Structure 1
Amino acid sequence: MSVAHIVVTVLAAVMAGFSGGSVFARAAYVVQPLAEYGVPRSWWNWLGAAKAAGALGLLVGLFVPVIGVLAAVGLVLYFAGAAVTVARARSYAHLPFPLIYLAPAAASLVLYA
């Protein structure tokens, strides 16, 4: 395992964990756009849990690689879905945000190979 892989994976885990925690804390800069995009309020805890689980999975993956690969795949799919949701809501100015979170998760996945 390379230093680059460890750094990128930890960065992706911190970012996903922060994002999940922001949903749980109901930070206005996260939940207000969710409401504008039409994401049902009943989904918010599940979305936060998915991000938190992905973050934890990336960290565990540093010791058990198959878990890290699965977590990275899950986060890539999650943030790709988030980008699609933002695009469908025609909130194009917000489109970079899920992509910023997707990038380190995708990089971590690539570095497992």
Structure 2
Amino acid sequence: MFIGYVVVAVLLALASAGSAFLTFTRNPQVVGSMAKVGVPESWLPRLATAKAAGALGLLAGLVVAPLGMAAAVGLVLYFAGGVIAHLRVKDYAVAPVVVLTLLAVAALVLRVASA
């Protein structure tokens, strides 16, 4: 189970860190997607920080299990909120955020199972 967690955690950490970077740098595609669902531009630094913290927490969770679990829970909540935000405004282009949500769920389940 631990090897599975390592693989999923590293993939999710890379995706979250990349998304955080794009949000910090105000990538037009990311900013446009967030604006479409009603996210105020003033929230972008906080949301990017949450994704970056989740990525770091997943990697730290390789050594400290409770930290990995907490990071996975945080990312599940973050990305599930993204799915809800898209569906709320009837934007059904949710495949990327659904995949990230499922990866976060897998990371949480694998970290709990391997602890």
**What range describes the TM-score normalised by the shorter chain of this pair?**
over 0.9
Q: Which amino acid aligns with 2:104?
A: A
Partner of 2:7: 7
Matching of residue 97 in structure 1 with residue 96 in structure 2: yes
Matching of residue 110 in structure 1 with residue 109 in structure 2: yes
Q: 1:31 Cα shift? A: 0.5
Partner of 2:79: 79
Equivalent positions of 1:9-24 (< 5 A) are 9-24=9-24
Q: 1:64 Cα shift? A: 0.4
Deviations 1:58-92 (A, max 9, x none): 00000001000000000000000000000011111
Deviations 1:6-62 (A, max 9, x none): 111111111111111110111111111111111111101100000000000000000
Q: Which amino acid aligns with 2:41?
A: R
TM-score normalised by L of structure 1: 0.94
Rounded to whole Å, the distance in 2 between the matches of 1:71 and 1:97 is 19
Q: Which amino acid aligns with 1:98?
A: V
Partner of 1:61: 61
Rounded to whole Å, the distance in 2 between the matches of 1:62 and 1:19 is 21
Equivalent positions of 1:29-68 (< 5 A) are 29-68=29-68
Rounded to whole Å, the distance in 2 between the matches of 1:5 and 1:39 is 31
What stretches of structure 1 move > 6 A for 4+ residues in a row?
none
Tell me the matched-pair count.
Answer: 112
Q: Which runs of 5+ in 2 are unaligned?
A: none
Deviates more, 1:32-41 or 1:51-60: 32-41
Matched residues, percent identical? 46
Q: Which runs of 5+ in 1 are unaligned?
A: none
Rounded to whole Å, the distance in 2 between the matches of 1:13 and 1:54 is 7
Q: Secondary structure at the match of 2:46?
A: helix
